[in-house]
Structure 1
């Protein structure tokens, strides 16, 4: 048990390192755009606009991620997953060390593409190993803990990367990323046991026809559109100008709407994973997906909810009376009248702010029911049929169409229909996904469908 605990902690640290590097780059992306100042160019007679080049900053990463899924999954099943993970982490240290050296859009796009291999490989191998080491009765719980580590990295990374950049520039941010990945590499090398499983052939072929994987994929394919739309447009709704349908909040307020979802998801997943292990996977996938869709539909009503509840338009925190004693020693350095009695954390926000943060937090709670159960189901099938890495690879591939198409759909809806329509469509995708999922289960298992697996 102690040996397994050390293995899990090594994998959690790796999950944290992968998430920290990913979100640090996302946080710095606007600064790279300012620094590199992309402009239009002509390649082989084809004119590429500045907007398309900026799009390649992200789509190049996503495209290589998609290409990397199948070969990395196959390598994880065919060889030692521990070795593959160590190679990916070592490669990741090199890739992140290159980011401060980029001096053009072309070099940035190339290094971001390499980052796609790192993020995909680390994510697939860590989740595959967690699912493989855990037993069936604890699998969702351990996967939930691994996801919690990733969400913790997202919170810490998003809040710290910008601060470090403003003070010291790009270099120190990526030095921190490389250092964290090196610690994760050492932990993996020291505590993770060699993976003795070997799967001959090409397990994607058999797993692609697995009935349970096909059933949950019918939900996951549609749910990818929902999550991509809602997660992407929550901060857009909070931050863009009122003329474009937004709330025009400042950077800190927008960041809090994003962090709220990640924080509740992080806190809940180990617990909801345990419940999924106890009561079944399908029920939690259905409940989490349905709840996510209903909360998404409520997001556009945040202003109305705030007005009805009389929510404040600014958040003020009073300094506790117990700190008043500090006035005497502080008075030696600062005039006493400069010591405030209260601090305004968020000014110039509308009454919609607190309801929007609460709804974002509820989205995290809802998704925490779905995610560990869904991941554990793929791990169950991959472990039973041979090819857990390939099973997670199929899971990633099913998600890709939604993650690529949904932003284009959301942009069109925002400008051609309304801001609210983005969330209505996002919520509808989640609800049609759970409806399809339940219909297939009911057809195969009858009235007790949601408790069958």
Structure 2
């Protein structure tokens, strides 16, 4: 019965992820159709989602710990169905922003509570492995959603695209309703107040706050670098080639997370956070050298279907895939550490809520910094600064970990 519960939660993770990436893919189309009247409104197309997520993280996590997580998840899935069903009827910029905000509330609930239930249902020695499987479902949705969204929209328009999302969310909702058991855990009071001073979570925060800057910059600007005009420092690849670069990172992350999660269950979660974060930083520093690597190795510049690109193409695909491998070491181990602290009765949903909030400042500020670097010293500095932020994060993490918990904590956590 427990295995069926996990499958229902993995399906929920897939359906929610499919909706997020599909709308992100179609965002330029909405900009073209709705033609926002100002730059501020254009910004709200994106930040409306982020703002809603930030506002509801604490109350949603609190509700998940105070009441039945299954009920909170069902409400979140119902809100998801309503938000995606509303998008085809949007006729104004402000209507889109409102629907986007509702989507932000819904995906915060589904993300937090799904991971909380996976963490709570797992034993200590299977937690990272199960979280890795849940994340793999999300990455699979990202790959399929980004490919299918453009195809379906080109053939049938917005209505069919969102109809597919709703058609995925309804079985997910039914799966939770029929197979996920009610959660008996009830945390009184306000768990955030205790978890905010938890020594393990503070140690993880020393890494995560800096790593958010690294990932936000590098993950987004690899795609920018691939498609940007050569005159502005990019490689000027067409959309199909850019999508290959994009999918390489997601595919490797999807492929490796269950395996690396299982290894971190056995050999220490902190070690995998340290190794994954450090490797991510080192690979990020290499991204601007993709053209040099391609020319030095004499790699091809012409490819079937994709046409003429440049010798930098294969190195860039490889480096972005390697970023996916690096992040697959870090993510399930990091999530399991947060779940470990919450699952001991402190509040697993609140623990994940803190994890989400710690990420926010870096993810908001990093794109602004990347834009300044790109238009100033050059796009290569986005990867230099992002890589150094990741390396700085793991060194800070190791220093705080060793000082507060002893030299052996890297393999004992």
TM-score past 0.5 threshold: yes
Structure 1: gaps spanning 5 or more residues: 40-49, 316-343
Q: 1:360 aligned to 2:358?
A: no
CA–CA distance in structure 2, aligned partners of residues 91 and 38 of structure 1: 26
Among candidates 53, 62, 85, match of residue 74 of structure 1:
62
Match of 1:223 in 2: 211
Distance 2:105 2:407 in 1: 43
Aligned to 2:290: 302
Aligned to 1:101: 89
1:94 is displaced (CA, Å) by: 0.8
Structure 2 counterpart of 1:175: 163
Correspondent of 2:396 among 436, 441, 445: 436
Distance in 2 (CA, whole Å) between partners of 1:428 and 1:55 is 28
Note if contact 1:314-1:347 (Cα within 8 Å) is conserved in structure 2: yes
Contact 2:79 2:103 in 1 (8 A): no
User: Displaced runs of 4+ in structure 1, greater than 3 A?
Assistant: none
SS in 1 for 2:408: helix
Contact 1:288 1:369 in 2 (8 A): yes
Matched with 2:9 is 11
Equivalent residue for 2:195, pick from 190, 201, 207: 207
In 2: Cα distance, 1:270 partner to 1:120 partner: 23
5 Å-filtered alignment, 1:33-432, equals 33-39=31-37, 50-315=38-303, 344-432=304-392
* Deviation (angstroms), 1:443: 1.1
How far did residue 345 of structure 1 move?
A: 1.7
Once residues 49 and 309 of structure 2 are traced to their aligned partners in structure 1, the CA distance between those partners, rounded to angstroms, is 35
DSSP 3-state at the match of 2:305: strand
Question: How far apart are the structure 1 equivalents of 2:397 and 2:236?
Answer: 38
CA offsets 1:251-301 (integer angstroms, 9 cap, x no match):
010011110000000000000000000011110000000000000000000
| Conserved 8 A contact 1:80-1:195 | yes
Aligned-partner Cα distance in 1 for 2:227–2:308: 12
User: How big is the shift at 1:53?
Assistant: 1.3
Mapped to 2, the partners of 1:394 and 1:220 lie a distance apart of 11
Which structure has the larger Rg over C-alpha atoms? 1
CA–CA separation in structure 2 for the residues paired with 1:68 and 1:257: 33
Q: Structure 2: which 5+ runs fail to align?
A: none
Q: TM-score, normalised by structure 2?
A: 0.99
Superimposed CA distance per residue, residues 136-159 of structure 1 (whole angstroms, 9 cap, x where no aligned partner): 010000000000000000000000
Deviation by residue 1:108-154 (Cα, 9 ceiling, x = unmatched): 11110111001110000000000000000100000000000000000
Partner deviation per Cα, 1:73-98 (whole Å, 9 max, x = no partner):
00000000000000110111011000
What TM-score, normalized to structure 1?
0.90
RMSD of equivalent CA atoms: 0.7
